[in-house]
Structure 1
Amino acid sequence: MPRRKWMVAAVVLAGVMSLAPVVSAHNQQPAGRVTQKTQQRAALFPVTLKDDAGHTVTVRKMPHHIASVTEGTDEILSALVPKQDIALVTTAASDPAYSNVVSWAKGLPAIAEADAERILAVHPDLVLLASYTKPGVVDQIEQTGVPAYEFANFNSIADIERNIQVVGKLTGHEDKASAVVARMNNLLAQIARAVQQVSKGKPKPRVLDYSSWGYVAGAGTTVDDIITHAGAVNAAAGIKGWQKVTEEEIVKLNPDVIIVSSDEKGFVAKLLNDDALSGVRAIAHGRVYYIKSADLSSVSQYIVDGVRDVAHRLYPAAKLPQPW
């Protein structure tokens, strides 16, 4: 079934090779300089943006009690704001099958699904939601005067980069958001160069993302973007979005490679021993691979690791950059 990352719940500037040094350097500044930086961030407010649901959202003061009700924003916030400014995250943030920030999320209050009373109980000054959140929940939050921003677009790497920039604006950390996006683009460029070096003159493999539920990732999905950036062609590119298909359709698609989320234990063995699929090139040549589920389903900066994971399976000789 479709990835649930939000639901369970370019060239970088010289010297910027990871976010860690950026954050570390900031934390080591003398107290006076930190205060000055904080004042500069505070001066950016009020901030008014139109969210993906069409609502005008105004954050009057720099937020220091942020409630995140999507795992995507959990992961984005982990790279942008001090942990003490987080009032709430999703329970998925602590699940290694879906989260890349398990260690960071330890000790933070968590919620399994959007519930206005529980969200308001942590006294947030900014709430980050997904547009599928029940309207009643959003209305209850907005009636209290707490700004609530709904995200709806997370179907591509470009969407994710835009969402990172939005979170940066809403929290007063636009500079860090820009650094994260720059690093993403730098890593993607490194992956592209590494793949090109080992694949010159060779046709791009046709890759199919397939789940035990019978769904494939078609055009307009983050996985489609992952496959493309990994130097391959999505075998299901003719299908729109997440669609359930029959085994007969898998035979017709005849991918060179099949990728499966690592949280689906045993599915690879099942595919490799399925007589109905024995003629599919990926099955016949044993090219069915697990990809780390937290990376493959990511709708945060960690989607770059999904690209790297797939590229590593397709081009094991490529000298790829280190994971995020």
Structure 2
Amino acid sequence: MKKGILILLAMMLAVGLLSGCSSPSTPETPEEQSEEVGDAVLSIEDDFGNTINFGNPPEKIISLAPSNTEILFAVGAGDKVVGVTSYDDYPEEVLDIEKIGDFNGINLERIIELEPDLVINYGDGVTEENERLLEAGIQIAGFEPESLQEVYDTIIKVGKITGHEDEAKELVEEMTSQEAELAEKIEGLDKKTVFYEIWHEPLMAAGPGSFVDELINRAGGENVAADADGEYPQFDLEQLIERNPQVYITANDLPEKTADSIKERPGYSEIDAIKNDRVYLLDGNIMSRPGPRIIDALKLIIEAIHPEINN
């Protein structure tokens, strides 16, 4: 599992767009396989080359990331979820599901006691824990989407393996339609340079290859960290000042972090986003979960970059 995204999810309380010439992503359905429940195998391949097979949809599922939990509920498989992390809080029904750990560690013994048919990881999981689960006869699927298209693909796969592929396809169609509507809203608007703060001590940015970077681009922004080293790199203050973003975005992940506290940081007064009061703190849960609400995240970034569309 990538260290950067773990920091992003934990620190943003989750575990915690389109430019004028862009076009919305087209959902890609995984290769068609037999789906006749009970007679043939429900089969998918996860993001790490593992094949997951079921003769019937799994009756008990444990989700080890809020984004995967939201996908399960969105496609209609929420009633099969018997365990989630302590950071899961959406939809409201999740609050009543047993908590079996967080990104600092899971209660492996309790997971095995619950006898799930399927455990869904964010990323490829921990090798030793995976081995224990497999020895107990529990199948594991791992997903790590870092783009809108990969989120769509993950939704389709989760829908398929849980016996809800039709619902998953409907959801993806709705999301791509919303994506297209947002693209139309910002068509022809001037691009703005943007910095997205993942963390502040040390300063970390949303870099190339991250889903936040893609959302910035699709929102009609130009990510000043687009050439940084990795998805969630450290970013020097001097470099931030030099690149002088017009818009500064981060998550409302800490009570003490406010627009005013950001403006008061040493050196920040030289940045245009600070001078022009263009600092935005967005919903940390929505911004950190590559799942069904990623279109909401796109909308939030669009409104930060182009507030004029709401006038």
TM range (shorter): 0.7 to 0.9
| Secondary structure of the structure 1 residue equivalent to 2:233 | strand
Partner Cα distance (2:64, 2:265) in 1: 40
Structure 1 partner of 2:192: 205
Structure 1 partner of 2:112: 120
Aligned-pair CA distance for 1:116: 2.7
TM-score, length-normalised on structure 2? Answer: 0.83
- In structure 2, relative to structure 1, the CA distance for the partners of 1:292 and 1:228 (3 Å cut) is same
| Letter of the 2:87 counterpart | A
Partner Cα distance (1:131, 1:298) in 2: 13
Q: Does 2:103 match 1:108?
A: no
Structure 2 partner of 1:129: 121
The residue correspondences of 1:11-90 to structure 2 (distance < 5 A) are 42-43=37-38, 45-90=40-85
**Which of 2, 8, 11 lines up with 1:3 in the alignment?**
8
Structure 2 partner of 1:243: 233
CA contact (8 A) 1:47 1:170 kept: yes
**Which of 263, 273, 288 lines up with 2:253 in the alignment?**
263
Q: Which has the higher contact order (CA 8 A, sep 6+)?
A: 2
Unaligned runs of 5+ in 2: 17-23, 27-34
Partner Cα distance (1:154, 1:171) in 2: 19
Q: Identify which range, 169-178 or 49-58, moves more after superposition.
A: 49-58
Structure 2 partner of 1:22: none
Q: Does 2:131 match 1:145?
A: no
Size of the alignment, in residue pairs?
Answer: 282
Aligned-pair CA distance for 1:261: 0.4
For residues 127-173 of structure 1, give each alpha carbon's deviation from its aligned partner in whole angstroms, at most 9, with x where no partner exists. Answer: 1113342111111111122221122x321111111111110111011
| Secondary structure of the structure 1 residue equivalent to 2:8 | coil
- In structure 2, relative to structure 1, the CA distance for the partners of 1:150 and 1:275 (3 Å cut) is closer
Aligned-pair CA distance for 1:274: 3.0
Structure 1 partner of 2:21: none
Q: Does 2:267 match 1:276?
A: yes
| Secondary structure of the structure 1 residue equivalent to 2:248 | strand
For residues 263-313 of structure 1, give each alpha carbon's deviation from its aligned partner in whole angstroms, at most 9, with x where no partner exists. Answer: 133342122123412121111111111111111112101111111011112
Partner Cα distance (2:175, 2:36) in 1: 23
Structure 2 partner of 1:215: 204
Q: Percent identity?
A: 24
Partner Cα distance (2:39, 2:283) in 1: 38
| Secondary structure of the structure 2 residue equivalent to 1:290 | strand
Unaligned runs of 5+ in 1: 13-39, 95-100
Partner Cα distance (2:266, 2:9) in 1: 30
